[in-house]
Amino acid sequence: MEEIFVLVVGAGPAGLGIAACLTKKSIPYIVLEKVHVVAREMIFVEMHLLKYFSLSIVDALVTLSSNLKYGNLSKYGIYRLNEGPFLLKATKGRIPVIDVGTIGKIQYGEIKVLPGIEKINKSKVIFEDKVELSFDAIIFATGFKSTACEWLKDYDFILKNDGFLKNCFPNHWKGKNKLYCVGLSRMGLQGVSKDAIAIANDIETVLRTMLR
């Protein structure tokens, strides 16, 4: 069977997962931004540690753990951000990449990491280091843009024009006319959990008022 060459661009959590799956039938190449890579089990440890320690301490522990587990990833073309992984999640909504086996495939050469893209001409891609390669398929895993503002009426009380929340945590989840937002706080599963609890409590209060 002829090998298929696939380029995954903007490989965050979704893109790295796609690349790992593609290794069974193709040779994937990825273009990465600077990212934090953490082992799956560290996510659960982090959520537990945050109950007792500050964000900066947890970030330092998780970063140290990642360095011990993966070593120096820069020689494979993977560079870490200066800010800690969970500080970024809390302030900018950027979640760390949870490794699902992709890093091992990169280290063994099954997935190749390339520099940024300079130009795309049909199936040919020119990279920042002037190397030119041809691909059978190019996958853009570069995120999405919310369209809520295009179909939701009176969104301006709770959402900004980019579709994300206008109000800051923890007063972000409730709008007018019983409109609630869950999971838009960019705080991961912990944020979703807090939103769900706050909304459930608010609905309970409304129902109790109606039954009086």
User: What would the pLDDT profile of 41-65 be if each residue is shown by its tens digit?
Assistant: 777 787 788 788 888 888 888 888 8
Pick 107 or 156 by higher pLDDT: 107
Show which of 81, 111, 140 is a domain's final residue: 140
In contact, 32 and 11? CB cutoff 8 Å: yes
Among candidates 2, 10, 1, 7, which has minimal Cα distance to 111?
7
Domain match, 160 and 116 both: no
Domain boundary among 97, 120, 140: 140
- 172/71 same-domain check: no
26-35, 62-71, 77-86, 168-177: which is most confident: 62-71
What mean pLDDT comes out for the span 7-18? 78
- Could you tell me the CATH number of the domain that includes residue 134? 3.50.50
Q: Are residues 33 and 58 in the same domain?
A: yes
Domain span including residue 33: 4-140
Same domain, 87 and 67: yes
pTM over 0.85: no
Q: Are 39 and 60 in contact (CB under 8 A)?
A: no
Among candidate residues 115, 140, 165, the one where a domain is terminated: 140
My answer on whether 126 and 154 are in the same domain is no
